Structure formats: structure tokens, C-alpha cells
Structure 1
Amino acid sequence: MIVLTVDQRGSTYAEDRVPVVLEQLAKWTSGRAGIVLPFERTIGDEVQGVLSGHSPGAQLAVDLTLDLLRDRGWSVGIGVGPVETPLPAVSRDARGPAFYRARDAVNRAKTRVSGKSVAVEGPTAASGERRAHEVESLLQLLGAVRARRTPHGWEAVDVLSGLADKPGRQKAAAQLLGVSEQAVSQRVRAAMWSEECAVLPVIVRRLEELSGPT
């Protein structure tokens, strides 16, 4: 299983954003495979959800992590491993190594700068530690790339992401944005979107391998 524990950054001096992020998480996960227990508030300004360790859950975990890092207001801990079964109705009542690892991970993530505040904990065997480190490093790398993305870059990426991947997509994006196709191409190159798209499947695969049978 994959457990995501998400903690609000700087919450001591900020308003409670948990209700807002829960709405966002419900929207982001709507209709997606991989959810085992939905996200809910656990304690204080923290939320938690449980995902399958198979490919849909791993994909969802990566997508949610990157969305939360983009917000820059959250620290994300990813814990991978077994859980005690049967699972309760809500994640705050659940137990098992994946939950303990997610707790350790989010505590480490809190020490990192916004945009890269993610950590991953998996099985303690050498191979598990290596894979967890790889997933964590790649997520931090994409977080750093995204943190440098300009508003114009995000605008182009967001529009292109919502269009079917087929010939003419960039032209369609240019029409929607009211700019030239060349301008879209320049924005996408500067945003390093192609590089991000190439790395994402690698992260998902490594996270799924880290999860093992669930």
C-alpha cells in the first residue's frame, strides 16, 4: 500500500487550509482508480489517504504529490509497505508499517524548502531504501523544475495537458491561448515539459516496484 500524509506548511501563523485541500484532493481523485481510503483530516492541519500499491495507485500518488508541491503550501510524506487488515473505514484509525513510514517521511519533508518538500520511506531492506531514495530524488527534481516554471509556462502546460495527445495539439493550444504556435513552443521548451513527461513514467514504475504486492 501507499500512504500519503500531507501537512500544512507554516500553519502556526496561517489560516487552516485543510478544508480547501480536502476539496482539491476530492476533485483530483474523482473518477481515478487507486484510492483505497479517501483523504481526510487526521490531526491538526494534516490530511491522509491510502492508495493501492499497484500501477493506478502509484500513478495517483505521483500526480497528487506534484499537485501539492505546486501549491507550495504542503509537505508530503509517502510511506510504502504493508498495513494491518481489515482496514478501518477511515485512515486515522488504521495501522501498519506504511503509516509509520509516512509519518517519518512527512517529518523529513517539513525540513525542506517549499516546492521540494517531499520525502519517501519504504521497506528497510537495502533494495527498498535505494528505490525509496530514487523516487524521492526524482520527485524533488521535478518539484524544483516546476518551481522555476513561469506563469506563462504553466499556462501553456495546463492547456496542453487538457488536450488529447495527437497531431495539432500545439496549434490548438495556441488558438486557445491567443498566441502564436511558436510562442507556445517556446513556453513549453522553457517549462521543460517534455522532460517532465519523460521522467514521470519512471517515477511511477519505481514507486510501484517499491510497493510490491498489495
Structure 2
Amino acid sequence: MFVITADQIDSRHDHDRASEMIAQLVSRHEGEFALPPDQTSGDEIQLLVPRAPAALEMVLDLHRTGFWSVGVGVGTVRTPLPLTTRQATGDAFIAARAAVTRAKRTEAHFALDTPPSPSEQTTPGDDVGAVAPDDGGDPTGSDVEALVTMLLLLRQRRTPEGWEAVDLLEQGLAQTNIARTLGISTAAVSQRVKSAQWKVERAVHPALVRLLLNLDRDTSETDLNR
């Protein structure tokens, strides 16, 4: 399960954007929430999302606005689920809280955490500062965080003109139709799309979804084996 916790950036000097952001997410991703999105503490929102593709899209939507630090927690959630997201508990919620705290200090305002595996947990007498060696196995939460961060920073460089063309492309319009809609040449549309790195972004989405699915599977298996 994926928990997304988003905290509004510089909320003291801005109006409360939580309600309008929740409305946008519900409108765009209707049916993708395990529980209704909640405004939790003050200017913070929390989402409980079962599917990896939807979780990735919601992270992209939040980040695009420029108003949110976004933390993703991947792990189990205690069942049966309560009536509201703010009442729900579990490892994914703990991980999301740690992630959003870190996200506030990162360039992309994004972080992702998973519950510690049994091998990462310490016992009395262990060297708390020791880092477990990388065994070269499946990608970790840190690996996935790094790749999502690269995508977010790429999108962050996109110009308003690039977004204009990309948004129409994602609505299914052909470049000739986009050119007519925007009143520019097809060559200009092609240049906007190229500069926006849209094909690169779309190519990486399936890989990121697979990595998120693997994290979700691995954290669930880890919790079952404890």
C-alpha cells in the first residue's frame, strides 16, 4: 500500500491550499483511493492509494504545482480500515511521515521511505551507525527515490510552453491538431515536445511503476515474515 503525505511549502505566507488540492486529486483520480483523502494537521494532506500507477501520478500532480513537499511511504496498513485516512495506521503511514520530513530538505521536495527490514533493525549492543552492505539485489527505497527525484527535476525544468504542448498530447491530440489549437506550426510543436523531454518521461513511467510494485510486494512480504 502507498501512503502519500504532502505538506504545504511556506504555508505561513500563503493561503491554505489543502482543500483545493484534494479536490483536484479526487477529480483527476476518482476511484483510486482506499479511503477518502484527508486534510490532517493544518496544511497537510494524506492519501491512501492501493495502486502503484495511481500513486506515481499523484506524486507528479502534487509536485507540478510547486506548493508541496511530498513524502511516500510504502508498506502495510492495519486492517480493517477505519472510516477516514487520518484514523488509519500501519508501517506505510510511519514511513510516509519520515519521508515528508526529509522531503522538506531536498531539492525536489520529495522523499520515499519503506519500513526497515529485519536485517536493518538494531538490537542492544549493535553499532547503530553501521550501514548494511549493498547485496546487489532488488532496488531499495533509496534507489527508487533517486530515480523519481530525477524525473521530478526534469519536469521542473519544463517551460510553460512545453507544458502547454505536453498537456494537449496527453489528451490524445495529434501534433497537427495541437498546432492548430495553439496557432503555431507543427515544427514549433515538435520542438516544444522535444525540449520538454516528454518521450523520455513517458518511457520511464512503466519502469518506475514496476519498481514501486516491487517495493510494495517486498515490504508486504517482509512484514508477513516478521
Same topology, TM > 0.5: yes
Q: Deviations over 1:47-88 (max 9, x none)?
A: 111111xxxx11111111011111110011100111111010
Counterparts of 1:151-162 in structure 2 under 5 Å?
A: 151-162=160-171
Are 2:198 and 1:200 aligned? no
Name the SS for the 1:78 alignment partner: strand
In the alignment, the residues of structure 2 paired with residue 118 and residue 60 of structure 1 have an alpha-carbon distance, to the nearest angstrom, of 17
**2:139 and 2:211 in contact (8 A); partners too:** no
**Larger Rg over CA atoms:** 2
Shift of 1:13: 2.3
Match of 1:145 among 140, 154, 161: 154
Name the SS for the 1:19 alignment partner: helix
| Aligned structure 1 segments of 4 or more residues deviating by more than 6 angstroms | 126-129
Counterparts of 1:36-75 in structure 2 under 5 Å?
A: 36-52=34-50, 57-75=51-69
In the alignment, the residues of structure 2 paired with residue 20 and residue 129 of structure 1 have an alpha-carbon distance, to the nearest angstrom, of 38
Counterparts of 1:116-155 in structure 2 under 5 Å?
A: 116-125=108-117, 130-155=139-164
Residue identity in the other structure for 2:148: L
In the alignment, the residues of structure 1 paired with residue 39 and residue 153 of structure 2 have an alpha-carbon distance, to the nearest angstrom, of 27
In the alignment, the residues of structure 1 paired with residue 2 and residue 103 of structure 2 have an alpha-carbon distance, to the nearest angstrom, of 16
In the alignment, the residues of structure 1 paired with residue 206 and residue 142 of structure 2 have an alpha-carbon distance, to the nearest angstrom, of 16
Shift of 1:203: 0.7
Counterparts of 1:173-212 in structure 2 under 5 Å?
A: 173-212=178-217
Q: 1:3 — aligned with what?
A: 3
Name the SS for the 2:79 alignment partner: coil
> Aligned pair count?
202
Sequence identity of aligned pairs in percent? Answer: 43
In the alignment, the residues of structure 2 paired with residue 199 and residue 26 of structure 1 have an alpha-carbon distance, to the nearest angstrom, of 25
Q: Which of 192-201 and 121-130 deviates more?
A: 121-130
Structure 1 unmatched ranges of 5 or more: none
Q: Which of 78-87 and 10-19 deviates more?
A: 10-19
Name the SS for the 2:36 alignment partner: strand
Shift of 1:10: 0.6
Shift of 1:129: 8.9
In the alignment, the residues of structure 2 paired with residue 177 and residue 99 of structure 1 have an alpha-carbon distance, to the nearest angstrom, of 43
Name the SS for the 1:87 alignment partner: coil
Q: Which of 116-125 and 146-155 deviates more?
A: 116-125
RMSD of aligned residue pairs (Cα, Å): 1.8
Q: 1:22 — aligned with what?
A: 22
Name the SS for the 1:172 alignment partner: helix
Name the SS for the 2:213 alignment partner: helix
